[in-house]
Amino acid sequence: MSARLRVVVAAPLAPELCELLTTREPRIDLIVDQALLPPMRHPADFAGDPSFRRTPEQQAAYEELLDTAEALYGIPDVDPASLARTVRANPWLRWVHTMAAGGGGQVRAAQLTEAELEQVVFTTSAGVHGDALAEFAVFGVFAGAKDLPRLAHQQRDREWSGRWLMSQVSEQTVLVLGLGGIGSSVAAKLSALGATVIGTSRSGATVPGVSRTVHPDDVASVLSEVDAVVTTLPGTDSTHHFIGRDFFAGLRPGATLVNVGRGTVVDEAALLDALESRIVGFAALDVFEVEPLPDESALWQHPRVLVSPHTAALDAREDRRIAELFADNATRFLDGAALRNVVDTVEFY
- The overall average pLDDT reported for the chain is 96
Radius of gyration of the chain, Cα coordinates, nearest whole angstrom: 22
Rounded average pLDDT over 297-305: 98
pTM of the model: 0.89
Please give the pLDDT value at position 2.
72
CA atoms of 287 and 258, how far apart (whole Å): 10
Average pLDDT over residues 8-14: 96
Task: Answer whether residue 14 shows pLDDT above 80.
Answer: yes
Q: CB neighbours of 214 closer than 8 A, spacing ≥ 6? A: 198, 199, 200, 201, 221, 222
Sign of the Cα torsion 33, 36, 40, 46 reads: negative
Q: Of 110 and 314, which is predicted with more confidence? A: 110
Read off the pLDDT of residues 276-288 as tens digits, 9 standing for 90 and up: 999 999 999 999 9
Which one has a higher pLDDT value, 1 or 150? 150
Whether 61 shows a pLDDT value over 80: the answer reads yes
How do residues 155-193 score in pLDDT, each as one tens digit?
A: 999 999 989 999 999 999 999 999 988 999 999 999 999
User: Which residues are catalytic, by number?
Assistant: 262, 310
The pLDDT value given to residue 1: 64
Instruction: Decide if pLDDT at 153 tops 90.
Output: yes
Q: Tell me how far apart the alpha carbons of residues 310 and 221 are, in angstroms, rounded to a whole number.
A: 31
Vertex 263: Cα angle to 262 and 265 (nearest 5): 75
Residue 71: how many CB atoms within 10 A of its CB?
26
pLDDT for 83: 98
- pLDDT tens track for 207-263: 999 999 999 999 999 999 999 999 999 999 999 999 999 999 999 999 999 999 999
Contact 145, 198 (CB under 8 A): no
Rounded Cα–Cα distance for residues 213 and 343 (Å): 24
- Tell me what pLDDT residue 205 has: 84
The Cα–Cα gap between 315 and 296 comes to: 30
Cα end-to-end span (Å), the chain: 26
